[in-house]
Amino acid sequence: MKNVAVLMAGGRGQRFWPHSRFDTPKQLLSITGGNSMIRETVNRVSPLIDLSDVFISTTEDLFESIKDALPEIDYLNYILEPVGRDTAACIGLAAVVIEHRYKDPDTTMITLPIDHIIKDSEKFFTTQAVMLSVFSTSSPTQI
């Protein structure tokens, strides 16, 4: 059983204007005064999932900026949407890529938006760990 994470990092961040612009996408903004939103999300998920199993879903025009901000994520772990089509399309494309990459029907994929503020990281970690444990020991019909 393999656990993978897909971090959803598309979107233009129009609600963050004037802070988010084409040359400074929302994914690279520091909203809480610390790290960028995408860095916070990678840091949050890394105790749960090995970085080699963390995927970044983003648009082609944001790829270079995000890749530069996350040198530890292999470029093969980027899922590039030719054009943004919002959450459902992002998750659908990611599911196809993960299925093709791992070829294991027991692979569990969690999807996380990068633009959410999580104030209680410990509670987040515990909740995700329990969820991954349930999925790794149960079949979908038992959940």
CB 114 within 8 A of CB 8: yes
Alpha carbon of residue 29 to chain centroid: 16
Give the pLDDT confidence of 13-52 residue by residue, as tens digits. Answer: 555 555 555 556 778 878 777 889 899 999 999 999 999 9
Q: What is the pLDDT of residue 113?
A: 92
**Between these two residues, 136 and 4, which has the higher pLDDT value?**
4
Give the pLDDT confidence of 81-138 residue by residue, as tens digits. Answer: 877 778 899 999 999 999 999 998 889 899 999 888 888 888 888 888 888 888 777 6
CA-based nearest residue to 12, from 1, 23, 26: 26
Its pTM stands at: 0.86
CA-based nearest residue to 6, from 99, 90, 126, 105: 90
Q: What is the pLDDT of residue 52?
A: 98
Q: What is the pLDDT of residue 122?
A: 87
**Between these two residues, 132 and 68, which has the higher pLDDT value?**
68
**Between these two residues, 5 and 32, which has the higher pLDDT value?**
5
Domains of the chain and CATH, by start: 3-142 (3.90.550.10)
The alpha-helical segments, DSSP class H, found in the chain are: 37-45, 63-69, 86-102, 121-137
Nearest-angstrom CA–CA distance, 85 and 105: 26
Average pLDDT of the segment spanning 69-76: 96
Exposure b/e, 75-107, CB count within 10 A at least 16 = b: eebbbebeebeeeeebeebbeebbeebeeeeeb
**Between these two residues, 7 and 33, which has the higher pLDDT value?**
7
